[in-house]
Structure 1
Amino acid sequence: MMALKKNWIYFLLCSLLLLTACSGKETGTDDLTAPQDIKAPAGQKTVAVAVMNADPFLLTAVQKFEELHKDIHIEINEYKSTPQSGGGTAMPGMTQEDMEKFVQTVTTQALSGNASDLIAMDNLPQEKFIEKKILINLNDLISKDASFDKSQYYQNILQTSQVGEGLYSIPFSFYLEKVIMANTPLLNKAKITIDDSAWTWNQFKDIAKKLQGQIGSSFPSFANMPPSQMLYQYIDAHYSELVGQGKTNFDTEPFRNVMRQIKSMYDEGILSAEPVMDQKQTMFSLNGLVEPLSALMDMLRSDTQFLQMPSFDGKPSGFGYRTTLLLGINSKSKVQPEAWEFIKFLLSEEMQASPQLGGYPLNKSVLDKTLEEGRQMIEQGKIPVPGGKPSAETLKGNILALQEILERARTKAPGDIKVSAIAIEEFDSYMSGQKSAEEVSKLIQNRVNTYLNE
């Protein structure tokens, strides 16, 4: 359990990074370093961009942007482990300590007024940055820029990327996570129909018990679901209630009841953290729909239904998503117009259609073209489909179903990832029976208060 907990905390801190982490260089785990300032040639303005790792998509965008804008130089300030000597390629030697140091270093720079012009906000405490007025509200730029058509992009993603009424960082692509894969033959055998539009974990529990009663307990009810993921889902959906208006609400009976509800589902065998490789051997499992073509292939599986996660309170949760890059503009930057031009270039059809962009592009027309190309390749037999080539009607229906899922993707305003890590770390002692819900909720409350007041 301890190893599982540590692995999940590390995943929580690094999940966005790992999607685009293949940088083509071997790296070690020495102190994180940022390159020294590079002076642009005379007549050029420099836009500095602070990122953990510059992936191929970003590097290509910089090259193309500078070719189009000779008067602007994009300087990438990359915070990563110092490269080791030697050749070859490898994933970056990223550790939890590296990530924490990155967060601390960039946050310190921002609070002292020395941040880059553009800041990758993926794992940074965005609320703290907003409170200190470090980031500008991008909605102000959008409303004044007639050349920027906001309607081209997924409005649900832009809306849920906001904090309050402000858009302080903007994504360029996203991927679906926390998608439930349900075993269709088992559900049909038990004559169970699921309406996932507003279902709760209590309803899920009743369905799982009904399935176990009719089919037998040889099938796990829900595999690939660590307890920490359950708690993270709750914190993610209720962050503004748990940490809002300068007051934390972990040491409360509602939060303790959620902890108890999570634990009971594992104690009763409803949920399991154990992975199941064969989806036919489980009733439900946690998965993700990461990119268009593979998602379309998954949608064509006749033995699987894709459902959104249940909620704890009955409020529609939508399909969870994460972004691969979030950029915010420093309010103290002297090159805000140039920084905004670079953001718009990253959102252009040219860059949104780049094969180096991970996940789903934010630009809807680009995604529609990708799905249309996938449809044609499947119909022409260029992409083999397990179970045989589907009919044109089936294929069209599954594309529409995927588009509907993407329109239903939503998440709460980004919370401070460190808060979630603290809660998950302490939650393990409750799951293992070492501490009571009261003890753990007080510990979480005290540690989060200490962190937020630093």
Structure 2
Amino acid sequence: MFTRRVRPLLLAFVIVSVLALTACSGTKERPAGTSTGSGSTAEPVNNGEQVTLTMSIKQSSRLLDLAKQQYEAANPNVTIEIKEYSAASTMNGKTVIGGKPDPQDDEKFVNSINAELMGGNAADIIAMDGSLPYQKYADKKLFEDLNGYMNEQNGFDPSQYYTNLFKALEYNGGLYTIPIRVQLNFLMGNSSAIAGTNIDDSKWTWNDFKTAAEEITEAGEYAFVNMPPDKLLNRMLESSFGKLFDTQNKTIDTQAIIDLLNLEKSFYDDQLVTGDRVDANLGIFQTFGVSQYDERILFMLTQMAYEGQAHYYTLPSENETRGASFRSDLQMAVNSKSEHKEAAWDFILYLLSEEVQSSRDLMGFSVNKNAEQKRLDQLGADGAGGTTVDGQAVSLQAPAPENVEKIKAYLENAAFYAEGDLRIRNIVLEESMAFFSGQKTAKEVANIVKGKVETYLQE
């Protein structure tokens, strides 16, 4: 009998439950009515003249709705119009926090924004969730380079922010999109099974991961379970995108794609990974994203998984850049053809302010250091509590100092963005299925991918 235990259904229930709890309250403070969005000057936005700012977003949120209301209250001459392209996921008439997005909504949003930007009638602010190809828009000079606004004269103090996150999103020397919140990507592994294995996750590749998996898996166990080829390939693409695709120079490394496909197939051929729905207890690793310090979401997982023997690792990567990877499902870009660029930046700066960033409605890690510390202090003030999950009493407590420092270090050193150009990712995933089914070789698939992606990048 295997004793390396994990409770996947319980973990999922806890995550969803806590996300719902954290969405229940928001900051009530008023923003400063200034041209910096942060109170450092007394100059009115747009010199006091009436302005209507427009924002396009796939789906709005309580955070943005509150920020809009508070900003407008402090700046009576500014009206913000938020245009949504899809409705929130619902169940029994109620909004589902963290509901799974509809791929058709992604495609609709991308196509709509493309058409509006190319037609010259896009919103002043484009709120992105990671599906929009900001590099292509930058190449066509459709997005404003925000580096020019990020200075003290415009109310921006870099010492207040995790600027490594901004740096990771730079493209061709410019910053065309800025994250409002982030999620860190990790592997969670069974430390009792991994003990004694020489793993250096600060620089390991997917080949290194395979070597480790061969060493630690016992008969009937796997590195990953319930992981079909398209799902694993998606993880490998996200962590290695920069190695495969040079969007700046519009080139594709076909040999790297061939190597990645063959490596992934070897995981299944060597029975290190299975796509079958088997007992989750047979898996040594899980992939997951962390969006808050809250013990109920993060460190509670460590306590519950693998009989309390869980350990965090950064994702393997083929990229030369090392460090933790992150995602951001809420980023802001400014339309380069907007007539209200300064006002748009001012509202973005307010979204980056300590007031907004410390809100419980943020639903992710703050990019503002003071705000993140404020949220940590509040966790400590809340103290311990308890709840019941599946009839079992569960302790809720503030994160331990050593765990806080661990995650803070990951946040401060996060070095690369898990890129997600929707079109490129879909091309690779769709074409690779012919390889995994044995219909095409890895080289044939790589050449098809190269042709389609290069055509797309040149459009």
**After TM superposition, is the score higher than 0.5?**
yes
Distance 1:224 1:145 in 2: 52
Deviations 1:399-420 (A, max 9, x none): 1111112223232484522111
**Partner of residue 228 from structure 1, selected from 227, 230, 245:** 230
Question: What secondary structure sits across from 1:333 in the alignment?
Answer: coil
**Counterpart in the other structure of 2:139:** 131
**Partner of residue 340 from structure 1, selected from 342, 345, 361:** 345
- Amino acid in structure 1 at the alignment position of 2:432: F
Match runs of 1:359-378 below 5 Å: 359-377=364-382
**Counterpart in the other structure of 1:36:** none
Question: What secondary structure sits across from 2:416 in the alignment?
Answer: coil
Structure 1 299/425 Cα, relative in aligned 2: closer, same or farther at 3 Å?
same
Match runs of 1:53-202 below 5 Å: 53-80=59-86, 88-91=93-96, 95-122=102-129, 123-143=131-151, 145=153, 147-177=155-185, 179-188=186-195, 191-202=196-207
Distance 2:403 2:380 in 1: 10
Residue 164 of structure 2 contacts residue 414 of structure 2 at CA under 8 Å; is this kept in 1?
Answer: yes
**Partner of residue 435 from structure 2, selected from 413, 430, 437:** 430
Mean alpha-carbon deviation: is it higher for 382-391 or for 60-69?
Answer: 382-391
Sequence identity of aligned pairs in percent?
31
Distance 2:111 2:177 in 1: 19
Residue 244 of structure 2 contacts residue 257 of structure 2 at CA under 8 Å; is this kept in 1?
Answer: no
**Counterpart in the other structure of 1:244:** 247
Distance 1:93 1:207 in 2: 32
Deviations 1:113-145 (A, max 9, x none): 111100123321211211111111111011263
Question: What secondary structure sits across from 2:60 in the alignment?
Answer: coil
**Partner of residue 217 from structure 1, selected from 210, 216, 219:** 219
RMSD of aligned Cα (Å): 3.4
Q: Give the TM-score, by structure 1 length.
A: 0.79
Question: What secondary structure sits across from 1:324 in the alignment?
Answer: strand
Distance 1:397 1:434 in 2: 51
In the alignment, does 2:260 pair up with 1:258? Answer: yes
Distance 2:370 2:277 in 1: 36
**Counterpart in the other structure of 1:51:** 57
In the alignment, does 2:385 pair up with 1:382? Answer: yes
- Amino acid in structure 1 at the alignment position of 2:268: Y
Structure 1 296/87 Cα, relative in aligned 2: closer, same or farther at 3 Å?
closer
Q: Give the TM-score, by structure 2 length.
A: 0.79
Residue 163 of structure 1 contacts residue 414 of structure 1 at CA under 8 Å; is this kept in 2?
Answer: no
Distance 2:110 2:244 in 1: 24
Match runs of 1:197-208 below 5 Å: 197-208=202-213
**Partner of residue 362 from structure 2, selected from 357, 364, 378:** 357
Residue 127 of structure 1 contacts residue 415 of structure 1 at CA under 8 Å; is this kept in 2?
Answer: no
Distance 1:408 1:224 in 2: 31
Distance 1:431 1:344 in 2: 46
- Amino acid in structure 2 at the alignment position of 1:348: S
Question: Shift of the alpha carbon at 1:292?
Answer: 1.9
Structure 1 419/345 Cα, relative in aligned 2: closer, same or farther at 3 Å?
same
Distance 1:140 1:404 in 2: 28
Question: What secondary structure sits across from 1:325 in the alignment?
Answer: strand
- Amino acid in structure 1 at the alignment position of 2:165: I
Structure 1 336/261 Cα, relative in aligned 2: closer, same or farther at 3 Å?
same
Distance 1:93 1:375 in 2: 31
* Structure 1 residues not aligned, in runs of 5+: 1-18, 25-41
Question: What secondary structure sits across from 2:260 in the alignment?
Answer: helix
Question: What secondary structure sits across from 2:443 in the alignment?
Answer: helix
**Partner of residue 402 from structure 2, selected from 397, 403, 407:** 397
**Partner of residue 298 from structure 1, selected from 297, 301, 319:** 301
**Counterpart in the other structure of 1:4:** none
Structure 1 283/372 Cα, relative in aligned 2: closer, same or farther at 3 Å?
same
Structure 1 93/331 Cα, relative in aligned 2: closer, same or farther at 3 Å?
same
Distance 2:88 2:412 in 1: 41
Distance 2:229 2:313 in 1: 19
Distance 2:88 2:62 in 1: 19
- Amino acid in structure 2 at the alignment position of 1:187: I
Question: Shift of the alpha carbon at 1:224?
Answer: 4.8
Structure 1 221/350 Cα, relative in aligned 2: closer, same or farther at 3 Å?
same
> Across the two proteins, how many residue pairs are aligned to each other?
405
Distance 2:100 2:206 in 1: 38
Residue 117 of structure 1 contacts residue 336 of structure 1 at CA under 8 Å; is this kept in 2?
Answer: yes
Residue 324 of structure 1 contacts residue 358 of structure 1 at CA under 8 Å; is this kept in 2?
Answer: no
* Structure 2 residues not aligned, in runs of 5+: 1-18, 25-47
